[in-house]
Amino acid sequence: MPLDHTHVPHASSWLASANGHPDFPIQNLPYGVVRRKGSAEAWRGAVAIGDQVLDLAALSAIHSLGQPADSALRLAALPALNAFMAAGPATWSALRHALFEVLSSGADEAARHAARSCLMPQDEVEHQLPTRIGDYTDFYTSLHHALNVGRLIFPDKPLTPNFQWLPIAYHGRASSVVISGTDFHRPHGQALPPGAAAPVYTPCTRLDYELEMGFFIGPGNALGRPVPLADAEQHIFGMCLLNDWSARDHQFWEMAPLGPFLGKNFCTSISPWIVTMEALAPFRVPFERPASEPQPLPYLDEAGNRARGGVDVQLSVSIETGQARAQGLPAAQITRTSFRHQYWTIAQMLAQHTVGGCNLQPGDLCGTGTVSGPTPEEAGAIVELSLGGSRPITLAGTGEQRTFLQDGDAVILRGWCEKEGAARIGFGQCRGTVLPAI
């Protein structure tokens, strides 16, 4: 997507909190679905701006943006964003530009008054999933993650033969995708203890997080009609943070030969705001594949993807233990990396997903797989940081140690984009807390 006036770094809003906001300046305008906390109000589409939320249903009722933006606004104001996502890039762009004008410092007084009356403080709203997620697919596309985990199981041959030839994935469980802030109970399942001849049924003893990003499907494709790589991003609405919680003891036992299954299907958390691909345009980077490594087959290779297929999203993981919470201490950051390290791009993931004729639908969710960087400190899962549980990591603040997650631990993912000559934009956070097994 080309850069335009909505990306200009010095653009400002009449809403003071938006100017210089680390996540939600006027250059971002991410979408979510909200209502007032504790109310029985209808859910409706919204946009984050500074420390406020712009209620799109309220705006649609009192102010005209002109066509085609008004039609787009009505779709984005619904209790789920599926129809808006299905409308495609021209519709998304029309609404982004219109909302930018209403919220910009150059907006006329009538537009300011209308938008101001539709604002709600972010800390006074609650979120639900932004779409009706019909299907959820999780990829496995970080070379560094694959090597780190593979070496724990197969030290001499950590990569599967197909990893460098295609974006690997499995179909996950859409019903257990939850919005950030939803806590979950430690799952039960079968595991094979070290040295044992038979498995045991037990609560998970090796509970892990996975630092991922998610992307939402816009227009779908017909059954049997693959999406060419050159067209793939026309089918991607935007991105979010995603935590693919993992029961490692259950997962490693059951993945012989199929899976993952129960080791992954008990909970997947996503952040509430979807940052559009248009907002991410200033932060695109080349897709690079060293000449010494296998090059993508022609259907997974294309000049545009080579030039700008990657996205440079800075990512971090922090753990807030029960002890830190009781003492009022901040969460301890344990990982910092970037999505630009991913071995396959999101366009390649989508093209691979459809190459056999699979029909994606608006609002479907895809996970990118764990995001790990080239250094040990950039590992995107605790199984990597602790070397499979053999080396405890020490948390700043309390000095507590972890090999895997304990009850009461909250894991917090954060993501943001920043570079010289562009306004910083962010994803907010994705948070979940481990509750005891029941």
Distance in angstroms (rounded) separating the CA atoms of residues 77 and 43: 9
Tens of pLDDT along the chain (438 residues)?
789 999 999 999 999 999 999 999 999 999 999 999 999 999 999 999 999 999 999 999 999 999 999 999 999 999 999 999 999 999 999 999 999 999 999 999 999 999 999 999 999 999 999 999 999 999 999 999 999 999 998 889 999 999 999 999 999 999 999 999 999 999 999 999 999 999 999 999 999 999 999 999 999 999 999 999 999 999 999 999 999 999 999 999 999 888 899 999 999 999 999 999 999 999 999 999 999 999 999 999 999 999 999 999 999 999 999 999 999 999 999 999 999 999 999 999 999 999 999 999 999 999 999 999 999 999 999 999 999 999 999 999 999 999 999 999 999 999 999 999 999 999 999 999 999 999
Tokens read off for 304: 């545009």
Is the preceding omega at residue 294 within 30 degrees of 0, hence cis? no
Q: Give the start-to-end residue ranges of the domains of the chain.
A: 5-128, 136-435
User: Domain spanning 5-128: which superfamily?
Assistant: Fumarylacetoacetase, N-terminal domain (2.30.30.230)
Check 7, 145, 250, 353 and give the catalytic one. Answer: 145
For 136-435, CATH number out of 3.20.20.80, 3.40.50.1580, 3.90.850.10, 3.40.50.300 equals 3.90.850.10
**Catalytic residue flag (residue 171):** no
